[in-house]
Structure 1
Amino acid sequence: MSGPAGIRCMLMRGGTSKGAYFLADDLPAEQTVREGLLLRVMGSPDPRQIDGLGGAHPLTSKVAVVSPSADPEADVDYLFLQVAVDKAEVSARQNCGNLLAGVGPFAVERGLVRAGTDETSVRIRMVNSGDFATATFPTPDGRVDYSGDTEISGVPGSAAPVVIEFPPGKGTLLPTGNVRDTVAGIEVTCVDNGMPTVLVPAEALEVTGHEDPEELEANQDLTARLHDIRLAAGRLMGLGDVTGTTVPKLTLLSPPRHGGAVTTRTFIPARVHTSIGVLGAAGVAAGLRIEGSVAHGIAALPEDGDRLRIEHPSGFTDIDSSIERAPDGGPRARRTAVVRTARKIFDGTVFPVPAAGGRS
């Protein structure tokens, strides 16, 4: 619990994001107390997050809460919390596939899972959605090894691979029941492969989809139209009023420029992702595989194999994706796997700003 000695915390890069990892037992059990504490830990609300761990961007203002799992299909539970930068808001409405890359190593570091002599696989239940994933990573001599020669776009240098595999989906990939929907006057495909995602042809919004994130963020007409699409799509996808949430994510699709399957620009929800999230890429990849989706005529699919290269502002993400027909006749995910990396940045104690009234 919080107190004068601070709180045990590990700062990790997971994929192309960075966040504070905590054991659930090291945080308050009561939700509102925990959220207030995490806002102070990250330095929110403040555009610079100058008095906390946050990096003044949604991708660096994240928290992973990990605990032993009571589910027989999992070793650990992983709760993802998105801490807003410039407002006092902590959201558990979505998963984060990037921080997911650090959950397995963190579980081993904290003694929740015993390491293997060569590599370790950790079965993870994503509390936000109830979905599962298995992360496999090197543990020579029973210790997590973060060094390696695996490179991922959006991260300088190289590190050890973390292979994240998602089990076959049990439900349809199409939460609206349709391959295409017309939303706010634009034809889109709504997909959920671990993250509610709306695929939108960039051309339909009068942009190329190859612009830099800053240029897209500055396009006020575009952001207004995307806001309308997101609100309408959220209702169609059964998410209700998504005004104050970060899902569904909107991803613009355009033809590939560097030999991949498609070019993407993902809104999270107003800022543009400098790369693409793991679960966002899983949604895009599945959407490309669905016959008749809005990706038809845009994407360049390989003639064989499951591997798809998703291009994004800082490079690409390779993901294995295949789909099959569900009993209800709709498409469902058969296999989804991605290679990411993670790195322990520091392990120690964080000292949050004291709460009002002088409490830590």
Structure 2
Amino acid sequence: MTQTAIPYHFLRGGTSRGPYFRREHLPADRETLTEVLLAVIGAGHPINIDGLGGGSAVTTKVAMLSPPSRDDCDVDFFFAQVAVDKREVDYRPTCGNILVGVGPAAIEMGLVPARDGETVVRVHAVNTEAVIETVVQTPGGKVAYTGDYAIPGVPGTAAPIRLSFMEAVGSVTGALLPTGRLRDVIDGIEVTCMDVAMPVMMARAEDFGLTGYETQAELDANGAFFERAEAIRLRAGEMMGLGDVSKSVTPKIALLAPPRNGGTITARYFMPWACHPSMAVTGGQCIATCTILPGTVADGLPAGLGALPSPVPVGIEHPSGTFEVVVNHERQGDGIAVQSAGVVRTARLLARGEVLIPEAVWPGAG
């Protein structure tokens, strides 16, 4: 036997997909784990030809599940963002789209028992210490994947999965505004650095000489934009207390513009070295919060918010459609206190079995 077999489930979660493992089936030490995940995905090649990755940051994600380490949760979710064409793994962020598949995967793996009708799965996101309540459709005690709910960026329809992010503020930095200010100016560009489910550096598209309505392909081809934006992102990472982020996918980048298709705001979200084809669940929560908080770079861009009472639905227009986030909050003077952010997404089990990696990378658990 020259290869090691590792049990896995392969799911689409929201607009991302990747392998879901039981943590106990992987190496305990971080160095060996990194080598295993690089081999699983086939990282270091533009189309990940020798692994399960799909040549995009939304298809090189990994979920690792284990029994809960908190009494108020049902399962621990440890996330890894594997690079596409570099041999790097980032364990700092979480991923809201991959998180959509955690509830179904935990039930499929036998980590969480299913109820008849709906099953509530409380997820502890280990990377950020957040708690997310997910509601999975389980008629007859089985996960339902078919349904009539559609999300932009995914063809067809599927069963809805409701997510409520309960401890989203300060997910990584410990503060809503990690720099202590609503706006900062870096290299002549006004930005808002915020941490709600994901640290994000947000700016107006027009300040970069863009409209904010460009397609994913147009933005990905704009090398001059990425060169300038990355320099600003690196400085923002330092100011947010994240240190050297040159090899980290956080903070992410978002460009904002007025809506034009009936939504609340338009956004282009970057991962951060490529434009997201739609919208990240975690990034969407941060953008939605920025949109309703007075004094940020989003001021004057949203349509129809006014003084809407909580909860506030925020429709974020993105390259594939519109993504809605419902923000529960309390007004506190000129600011807000975010209590939770809710979204509805879908997931589907695509495959299950064993993924094989070279035995030389890891001979297995025993």
Q: What TM-score comes out, normalization by structure 2 length?
A: 0.93
Alignment correspondent of 1:209: 212
Deviations 1:316-357 (A, max 9, x none): 111101333579x8533123100010000001111124436x
Amino acid at match of 1:334: Q
SS in 1 for 2:238: helix
CA distance in 2, matches of 1:276, 1:100: 14
CA distance in 2, matches of 1:326, 1:347: 48
TM-fit CA distance, 1:170: 6.2
Alignment correspondent of 1:336: 341
Q: Does residue 227 of the first structure (1) align with residue 250 of the second (2)?
A: no
Alignment correspondent of 2:360: 355
Q: Does residue 192 of the first structure (1) align with residue 198 of the second (2)?
A: no
CA distance in 1, matches of 2:54, 2:176: 34
Alignment correspondent of 2:323: 317
CA distance in 1, matches of 2:317, 2:324: 9
Q: Which runs of 5+ in 1 are unaligned?
A: none
Amino acid at match of 2:209: E
Amino acid at match of 1:42: I
Q: Does residue 81 of the first structure (1) align with residue 80 of the second (2)?
A: yes
TM-fit CA distance, 1:309: 0.8
Residue identity over aligned pairs, in percent, reads: 44
TM-fit CA distance, 1:137: 1.2
Alignment correspondent of 2:129: 130
Q: Does residue 181 of the first structure (1) align with residue 195 of the second (2)?
A: no
TM-fit CA distance, 1:255: 1.0
Deviations 1:86-125 (A, max 9, x none): 1111110101000000001111111111111110010111
TM-fit CA distance, 1:250: 0.6
Alignment correspondent of 2:295: 292
TM-fit CA distance, 1:4: 4.6
CA distance in 2, matches of 1:260, 1:116: 36
Q: Which runs of 5+ in 2 are unaligned?
A: none
Q: Does residue 271 of the first structure (1) align with residue 271 of the second (2)?
A: no
Question: Residues 27, 326 of structure 1: CA spacing in aligned structure 2 closer, same or farther, 3 A cutoff?
Answer: farther
Q: What TM-score comes out, normalization by structure 1 length?
A: 0.95
CA distance in 2, matches of 1:99, 1:130: 16
Q: Is the 2:132–2:167 contact (alpha carbons within 8 Å) kept by the matching residues of 1?
A: no
Q: Is the 2:253–2:270 contact (alpha carbons within 8 Å) kept by the matching residues of 1?
A: yes
SS in 2 for 1:351: strand
CA distance in 1, matches of 2:94, 2:167: 17
Alignment correspondent of 1:121: 120
CA distance in 1, matches of 2:96, 2:61: 12
Amino acid at match of 1:322: N
Alignment correspondent of 2:19: 20
Question: Residues 173, 325 of structure 1: CA spacing in aligned structure 2 closer, same or farther, 3 A cutoff?
Answer: farther
Q: Is the 2:130–2:168 contact (alpha carbons within 8 Å) kept by the matching residues of 1?
A: no
CA distance in 2, matches of 1:246, 1:257: 29
Q: Does residue 259 of the first structure (1) align with residue 270 of the second (2)?
A: no
Q: Is the 1:76–1:125 contact (alpha carbons within 8 Å) kept by the matching residues of 2?
A: yes
Amino acid at match of 1:259: G
| Alignment RMSD (CA, Å) | 1.9
Q: Is the 2:131–2:167 contact (alpha carbons within 8 Å) kept by the matching residues of 1?
A: no
Q: Is the 1:289–1:323 contact (alpha carbons within 8 Å) kept by the matching residues of 2?
A: no
Deviations 1:251-274 (A, max 9, x none): 000111210011111111111000
TM-fit CA distance, 1:194: 1.1
SS in 1 for 2:180: coil
Between the two proteins, the alignment pairs up a number of residues equal to: 357
